[in-house]
Amino acid sequence: MTQDKMIADELARRQAEGRPVAIATVVRTVSSTAAKPGDKALLDENGTLITGFLGGGCVRGAVRRATLAAIATGAPQLVSLKPQELLEAEGIAAGEARDGVVYARNGCPSRGSLDIFVEPVLPRQRLVICGGSAVAVALAELAEKFDFRRTICLGAAAETALPTLDQVADGFDDPTVWDGVPFVVVATQGQGDAAALMQALSVPTRFVAFVGSRRKFAALREKLIGEGVAAADLDRVHAPAGLHIHAITPEEIALSVLAQITSFRRNALV
């Protein structure tokens, strides 16, 4: 079995399990190095080599650090390993980053230099949409194009036919829905607003949005505070949901909500 085939098979297995990994590829070598351009390896979320080849153990530490950074930020990393004397000649300290390149010391006896590109392969982000409203369905349809793993929790019958989804739950309290979910949009629109929002706030999500007017959310906020929900938890709800683009139709509202989620995700990486 070829190296590429082994990496592809293991990558597919890890993706099916929803586990982040990184692919490291040798893109350039200078002088004598064990690895050659085109050599690659698959690394797990801890920076441990799963399969493939990058050279001797002297490169593993730098690649591991780059893998951890790539998975944490979602951004690829370019690592340039050089012997200590070359780093000193160029006035570069090991661990220093310049123009998007992170430099590291290559302590291998070969004394060669090599550049390694580390690309994260992250699991699809999960998006839970509460409600069967037209906005909820439109959001589920649009989110597919942005590679979300989509779940709809129905508090009542859907207003329109549901698209093909990763998961559909009949209510808001299915525990399989909420484990580790980062993004939640409550689009119940009068069909279980309080129950859906309470459930969304009971788990450590990164982003919660409520589709509805400011007046409606203000009234719901007072109701939930009266029922024991902490004001601080309600303060983290984006309400009304979506960027202000003068949206009117369900599809426009879904677009504004997805734009807000995208902005939130990207800003978190800056």
Q: What's the pLDDT score for residue 123?
A: 85
pLDDT > 70 fraction of the chain, expressed in percent and rounded: 99
68: amino acid identity, one letter: L
pLDDT of residue 179: 86
Span 119-140, mean pLDDT?
A: 94
Query: CA 262, CA 75: separation in Å to the nearest integer?
Result: 15
DSSP string, 128-172: EEE--SHHHHHHHHHHGGGT-EEEEE-SS--SS-----SEEESSS
105 membership: H or E segment, kind and range: strand 101-105
For 53-109, what is each residue's pLDDT tens digit? 998 888 999 999 999 999 988 899 999 999 999 999 999 999 899 999 999 998 877
Question: 239 pLDDT exceeds 50?
Answer: yes
Tokens 């661990």 appear where?
95
Task: Tell me the chain's radius of gyration from C-alpha atoms.
Answer: 24
Residue 265: the pLDDT is: 84
**Sequence letter at residue 53:** F
Q: Report whether 6 contacts 14 (CB < 8 A).
A: no
First to last CA, the chain: 40
Whether pLDDT at 1 is above 80:
no
* Contact (CB, 8 A) for 173 and 188: no
Q: How many alpha carbons lie under 13 Å from residue 103 in its C-beta half-sphere? A: 16
Q: Of 176, 128, 180, 181, whose CA–CA distance to 151 is shortest?
A: 128
**pLDDT value at 112 more than 50:** yes
Does residue 269 carry a pLDDT above 60? no
pLDDT at 78: 97
Q: How many residues does the chain have?
A: 270
Mean pLDDT confidence for 184-200? 95
